[in-house]
Amino acid sequence: MTFDHSHYVPILKGKKGELLALAKADNLQKFTPLVEVIPIPREYPDEGDSYLSKSMEKHIKDTAASYKKAMGILPRVFIDGRYIEGEKVNDGSSAIGRLFSLLRSGGIKYIPTIGLDRVEDYANAVCDAIATAKNGCCLRLWESDLESLSDLDSQIMSLLRTLNVATNSVDLLIDFQDKVPPKVTLPLLLNALPRLDEWRTLTLSSSAFPQYLSDVATNTIEERERSEWLAWVYVRAAQNGAKKRIPTFGDYGINHPTIVDELDPRMITVSPNIRYTSAASYVIAKGKAQPRKKKAQTDAQKTAREQLAPSIQYPNLAAMIKGHPSWKDRKFSWGDDFIDRCSQKRCTGTGSDWRGVGASHHIAVVAQQIANLP
């Protein structure tokens, strides 16, 4: 497997919406997603403390089934189990190891992802996956791993010897998460990486998408700069001019890199929003949170709550997106078609559906942008 700077690596949370976007995606040869295995979701009863909704055994089986449905047609996918690192299934074995096994038996062409700081049983699971699937691995480095470049080569090679894998079978991903580095320093940092030309692939990733949308006014549409894209375009030009290796572009799509702690729906409500992507910005259309339903409420309160129902707000938000200069066309992606139908009140969708809509459009935009670069 090889790909270069004409490719794209979106980093996705393995939630229902993002998996829906993968199942509906086109141009499958133009991108390779990195999917993070999410932790077990929680249940929130009417009274009492919240609790884990299922066992780790069940979570892994459910995850494997949902991945098979969403990723069965993908040429390849990176799988990172960092959120379930160290977790065990019923027989005491590694949860991520069990997932790798189920994906392999399900025909998913996955590549295990590891970092320098993973626990021993995680590394063992990746080692077994490399030996069995023979697809190599993805090595994901954080900004903190780059603080001592003089020691980085020895740390990496020590890990690769443990995994029994060569550099030309390793996809190196440099992930700055939500800290988009100054673009002028990126070429220097990139060229200081050890064994720059030996890696099977080299990807540079970060994200400027906001963690919270609280600063976006209700019933408005606002933009936020895609500074990670602008930084990569700068690096691409600088590396090309210096005849140095150009990294593949990676980002977190329409999500912030960090999984936000689950919000207790008994205490907090979320404003409906649609996340769209333009050439250089994230476009966010945001509605107003619907008040929680009270046991006793006046007719006026009931009417006010009904007027803020998602079935009413999402069509209005979809119409706002269609009226924005960044609107493509309903045929551009599955997500755009969904927005078009919703604006005509032919569908509404859940919050998960709308994450899938935004991810679908974003992947299509970035793949097109990269393909159109000179």
Residue-wise pLDDT for 49-100, tens only, equals 888 899 999 999 999 999 999 999 999 999 999 999 999 999 999 999 999 9
Q: What is the pLDDT of residue 296?
A: 64
Above 80 in pLDDT, residue 235?
Answer: yes
Contact 272, 199 (CB under 8 A): no
Q: What is the mean pLDDT of residues 120-137?
A: 96
> 33-63 burial string, b = 16+ CB within 10 Å, else e?
bbbbbbebeeebeeeeeeeeeeebeebbbeb
Above 80 in pLDDT, residue 264?
Answer: no
What's the CA gap between 122 and 140, in Å, rounded? 14
Question: Which pair of structure tokens corresponds to residue 317?
Answer: 């938000």
Above 70 in pLDDT, residue 261?
Answer: no
Q: What is the DSSP annotation of 4-29?
A: -TTSEEEEEE-SHHHHHHHHT---GG
Q: What is the pLDDT of residue 1?
A: 58
pLDDT band at 45 (very low <50, low <70, confident <90, very high): confident
What's the CA gap between 283 and 224, in Å, rounded? 7
The residue type found at 264 is D
Above 90 in pLDDT, residue 265?
Answer: no
What are the CA-CA distances from residue 194 to residues 69, 140, 334, 367 (Å)?
38, 14, 40, 28
Averaged confidence pLDDT in the chain? 93
Q: Which of 24-28, 225-229, 250-254 has the lowest mean pLDDT?
A: 24-28
Q: What is the pLDDT of residue 112?
A: 98
Name which residue leads in pLDDT, 119 or 307: 119
Q: What is the pLDDT of residue 109?
A: 95
pLDDT band at 317 (very low <50, low <70, confident <90, very high): very high
Tell me the β-bridge partners of 77.
Answer: 110
Tell me: the pLDDT tens digits for 326-358? 999 999 999 999 999 999 999 999 999 999 999
Name which residue leads in pLDDT, 148 or 304: 148
Q: What is the pLDDT of residue 294?
A: 64
Above 80 in pLDDT, residue 3?
Answer: no
Q: Which of 43-52, 223-232, 330-339 has the lowest mean pLDDT?
A: 43-52
Above 70 in pLDDT, residue 208?
Answer: yes
Q: What is the pLDDT of residue 50?
A: 83
